[in-house]
Amino acid sequence: MALIRVSARVNPIQLRRAQKALGAKTTSETLQRALDLVTEKAAHDRIIQRYSGVGNPDAFGEDH
């Protein structure tokens, strides 16, 4: 996969906190790990919602 160069303004304190929390050594690694984490969480949330019934119109119907 080819990487792209981006320019962004970020809070340096928040970046350092994220870098420490993710165990990343560089800004690029921090951003990549954060993006990986967000996309994995979104996929996980979709699976949970799909199989839990939460959000379905009849999720709290009298049959349950």
pTM for the full predicted model:
0.72
Give the pLDDT of residue 62: 65
Q: What tens digit of pLDDT does each residue of 14-61 get?
A: 999 999 999 999 999 999 999 999 999 999 988 888 887 666 666 666
Report DSSP letters for the chain, one per residue: -----------HHHHHHHHHHHT-SSHHHHHHHHHHHHHHHHHHHHHHHHHH-TTSTTTTSTT-
Give the pLDDT of residue 14: 98
Residue from 47, 48, 46, 44 nearest 36 by CA: 44
The gap from C-alpha 55 to its chain's centroid, in whole angstroms, comes to 20
Q: Would the pLDDT of 7 be above 80?
A: yes
Length of the chain: 64
Q: Would the pLDDT of 64 be above 60?
A: no
Give the residue carrying structure tokens 């996980």.
44
Give the pLDDT of residue 47: 87
